[in-house]
Structure 1
Amino acid sequence: MTDLDQLTQSLARNLKHWRTERGYTLDALAARAGVSRGMIIQIEQARTNPSVGTTVKIADALGISITTLLEYDQEPQVRLVAPGEAVRMWSTEAGSYTSLLVGTEAPGPFELWEWRLMPGEQSESDPHPQGTQELLHVRRGELTLVVDGGEHPVPAGGSVTFEASLPHAYRNDGEEIVEMMMSVVVPSGH
């Protein structure tokens, strides 16, 4: 089984588990997530790999982290993600990417991400649930963080936190690769 097949199967299994756990019908989850009922069915039947945006919307609607939604195994206590096993969620041919490194559910979804943005590239994000916070640390290059239309340059070595319930984007306007770490904290119950 390929990594993509394993991811598709895990997503199908976990989506059905958490939808049932929350007591949501297909229609209720589709309405909460803002995606079609047909998309939910296709994902639960392992017939499609949704976009990052759709995956985020579904995880947010279920009140769980993307890590939990994509998790291969449900192991208690310690969860080690070995080098090379992080889930690559977005990438471009130029070399930009995001990798979900690790996440947890207590006290609410809490995720750690690695980002790389090549010069001239950007990634836009839909607003997350009210109260969601993102914390970023730029290791290399200069990030242009756009929050609700306002631009905030964050140089190498700089860190920033912001309310992620507003539209936001990560952009590399420079000549150097941007490498950064990001934590996402979603309030419990979302």
Structure 2
Amino acid sequence: MTDLDHLTQSLARNLKRWRNERGFTLDGLAARAGVSRGMIIQIEQARTNPSVGTTVKIADALGVSITTLLDYDQEPRVQVVPPDKAVRMWSTEAGSSTSLLAGTQAPGPLELWSWRLMPGESSASDPHPAGTFELIHVTAGELTLVVEGEEHHLRTGTSATFEASGDHAYRNDGTEPAEMMMVVSVPPVR
């Protein structure tokens, strides 16, 4: 079984598990996440690999981290994630990519991300639930953070935090790759 097959099977199993645990019907979760009922059915039957955006919407609607959706086992008190076990969520031919490094439920989802954006590339994000915060730290290059239309230019060594319940995006307007670490904290589902 390939890594992609393993990821598809884990997502199918865990989506069904968390949807049932939350007491959401297919239609209820679809409405809450803003994705089609058919897409949720295809994911639960391991017949598709959804986009990162769709996976984020479903995780947010369930009130769990993406790591929780991708793999669920009883976690030890300390979970070490070697570099080769980070989950590559997307990449481009030019070399931009993002990897989910670690995540936990504390008390809501808490995720640690590593990002790399090549010059001229960007990534936009749909708004997350109210109370979701992102903390970023630029480790190389320069990054333009756009939050609800307002641009913030962040150089190497600069950190920022913001509530991510509105439109936001990350852009590399520079000539070198931009790299950052990001922590996302999502409030628990009530």
Whether the TM-score (by the shorter chain) exceeds 0.5 is yes
Distance 1:72 1:18, change over 3 A: closer
Partner of 1:175: 175
List aligned pairs for 1:43-122, cutoff 5 A.
Answer: 43-71=43-71, 73-122=73-122
Sequence identity (%): 77
Alpha-carbon distance in structure 1 between the residues aligned to 2:105 and 2:175:
37
| Runs of 4+ residues deviating >6 angstroms | none
Alpha-carbon distance in structure 2 between the residues aligned to 1:66 and 1:187:
14
Structure 1 unmatched ranges of 5 or more? none
Alpha-carbon distance in structure 2 between the residues aligned to 1:120 and 1:69:
31
Alpha-carbon distance in structure 2 between the residues aligned to 1:141 and 1:96:
13
Alpha-carbon distance in structure 2 between the residues aligned to 1:77 and 1:186:
21
Residues 66-97 of structure 1: CA distance to partner in whole angstroms, max 9, x if unpaired?
11011164434222211211011111010000
Partner of 1:84, secondary structure, is: helix
Q: Name the count of aligned residue pairs.
A: 190
Partner of 1:6: 6
Structure 2 unmatched ranges of 5 or more? none
Partner of 1:20: 20
TM-score, length of structure 1 as denominator length: 0.97
TM-score, length of structure 2 as denominator length: 0.97
Partner of 1:184, secondary structure, is: strand
